């Protein structure tokens, strides 16, 4: 598995497995299948309601803890310094782990203006050795800049919606310039129309690969961390089978041209749901 090095020298697998919208009943089989296939990074969150099942699948797998990279996130209602520390302990307990590899703020919810305090709790968890790395999700440049200005430890990761129809080039450049790794959520646009895009389909045909594999490759070759989700065993395998081909410079450029700033999720600056 190809890894990327976070700014604090921690190694993170570049391809992981996401479990949003994986119902409780599906979570143990899906994570079990992912671990059998070779995934070593699992992306969950308190709000996904499946931390317990993720932990169960990890224990059943027999994979050594230090070979795994487990991410979870503090939900919007738990923001604030003390609330975040409590929420973290709840997540840890549900996962049945004694540390997580990456702990993220799920959304900035800027209207409440609590993300700096929340991030300071993450810094404390890092100092206490309860997390290996800390970061954020859905942070725009201005939110990131505030953390860089007002906090001690810079975020290792910014996990944001990213796929060929939402390339996030400006944010990618800002993150790269500041040593923050960009991690793509909904990397397949939730299985949506980008998989039917003619450019993607033509490239896939040329390589004897599927559109999903081409898009995952595009993320990897852009140095993005990518966490596709699937509960379908054949797709869990398909999405991992991406290390035996390479997109050419022209193919990368053709996919880069598909960007049309189209989102599946809300704009982070407007997402204030609690
Ligand atoms: N931080 C955040 O705010 C945030 C927000 C959203 C997501 N995330 C994270 O990012 C992960 C991935 O994003 P996502 O779940 O939104 O979307 P995604 O990974 O882009 O797409 C998942 C959808 O695509 C389908 N799919 C998977 N592989 C496929 C393939 N090879 N061919 C065709 N269809 C395929 C899946 O169907 P089946 O499952 O039926 O196979 C599922 O419906 C999440 O699970 C979560 O961990 C984070």
Question: Does ligand 1 lie within 6 Å of residue 19's CB atom?
Answer: yes
**Phi, psi dihedrals of residue 5, rounded to the nearest 5°:** -105, 120
Residue 143 in domain? yes
Domain count, the chain: 1
What are the tens digits of pLDDT across the range 112-152?
999 999 999 999 999 999 999 999 999 999 999 999 999 99
Rounded distance between C-alpha atoms, residue 103 and residue 70, angstroms? 9
Residues 6 or more apart in contact with residue 89 via CB below 8 angstroms? none
CA 239 / ligand 1 centre spacing (Å): 11
pLDDT score, position 88: 98
Residue 135 in domain? yes
In the predicted model, what is the mean pLDDT of residues 89-110? 98
In the predicted model, what is the mean pLDDT of residues 188-207? 97
Task: Please report the atom of ligand 1 found closest to the CA of residue 43.
Answer: 47
Residues 6 or more apart in contact with residue 249 via CB below 8 angstroms? none
**Phi, psi dihedrals of residue 109, rounded to the nearest 5°:** 35, 65
Specify the pairing of strand 41-43 against strand 17-18.
parallel
List the CATH number of the domain containing 132: 3.20.20.100
Residue 268 in domain? no
Rounded distance between C-alpha atoms, residue 260 and residue 176, angstroms? 21
> Could you list the residue range(s) of the whole structural domain that residue 112 is in?
10-191+223-231
Please count the CA atoms within 13 angstroms of the CA of 18 that sit on its side-chain side: 22
Question: Does ligand 1 lie within 6 Å of residue 138's CB atom?
Answer: yes
pLDDT score of 78 more than 90? yes
Whether 71 contacts 94, CB under 8 Å:
no
Question: Does ligand 1 lie within 6 Å of residue 41's CB atom?
Answer: no
106 is in an annotated binding site: yes
pLDDT score, position 7: 83
Tokens of 155: 């975020």
Task: Please report the atom of ligand 1 found closest to the CA of residue 189.
Answer: 20
Residue 185 in domain? yes
Residue 202 in domain? no
Q: How confident is the model at residue 94 (pLDDT cuts 50, 70, 90)?
A: very high
pLDDT score, position 202: 98
Residue whose tokens read 């089978």: 241
Residue nearest to atom 4 of ligand 1 (CA): 185
What are the tens digits of pLDDT across the range 223-268?
999 999 999 999 999 999 999 999 999 999 999 999 999 999 999 9
Which active-site residues does the annotation give?
A: 48
In the predicted model, what is the mean pLDDT of the chain? 97
Residue 41 in domain? yes
Task: Please report the atom of ligand 1 found closest to the CA of residue 19.
Answer: 45
Whether 2 contacts 213, CB under 8 Å:
no
Q: How confident is the model at residue 8 (pLDDT cuts 50, 70, 90)?
A: confident
pLDDT score, position 187: 98
Best mutation site among 15, 16, 20, 168 for ligand 1 pocket (most ligand atoms within 8 Å of CB): 20
Residue whose tokens read 């003390």: 82
pLDDT score, position 9: 87
pLDDT score, position 48: 98
Residue 19 in domain? yes
Residue 208 in domain? no
């Amino acid at each position: 598995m190809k890894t990327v090095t976070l700014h604090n020298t921690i190694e993170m697998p570049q391809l992981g497995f996401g479990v949003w919208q994986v119902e409780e009943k599906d979570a143990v089989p899906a994570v079990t299948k992912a671990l059998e296939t070779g995934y070593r990074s699992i992306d969950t969150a308190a709000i996904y309601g499946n931390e317990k099942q993720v932990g169960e699948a990890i224990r059943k797998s027999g994979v050594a803890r230090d070979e795994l990279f487990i991410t979870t996130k503090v939900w919007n209602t738990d923001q604030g310094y003390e609330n975040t520390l409590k929420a973290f302990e709840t997540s840890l307990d549900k996962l049945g782990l004694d540390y997580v590899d990456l702990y993220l703020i799920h959304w900035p919810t800027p209207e409440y203006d609590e993300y700096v305090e929340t991030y300071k709790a993450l810094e404390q968890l890092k100092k206490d050795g309860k997390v290996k790395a800390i970061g954020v999700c859905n942070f725009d440049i201005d939110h990131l800049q505030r953390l860089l200005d007002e906090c001690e430890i810079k975020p290792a990761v910014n996990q944001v919606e990213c796929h060929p129809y939402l390339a996030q080039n400006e944010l990618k450049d800002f993150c790269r310039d500041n040593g923050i790794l960009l991690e793509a959520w909904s990397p397949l646009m939730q299985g949506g129309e980008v998989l039917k895009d003619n450019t993607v389909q033509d490239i896939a045909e040329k390589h004897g690969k599927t559109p999903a594999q081409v898009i995952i490759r595009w993320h990897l070759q852009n140095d993005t961390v990518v966490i596709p989700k699937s509960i379908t065993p054949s797709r869990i395998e398909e999405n991992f089978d991406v290390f035996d081909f390479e997109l050419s410079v022209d193919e990368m450029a053709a996919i880069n041209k598909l960007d049309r700033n189209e989102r599946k999720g809300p704009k982070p600056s407007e997402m204030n749901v609690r």
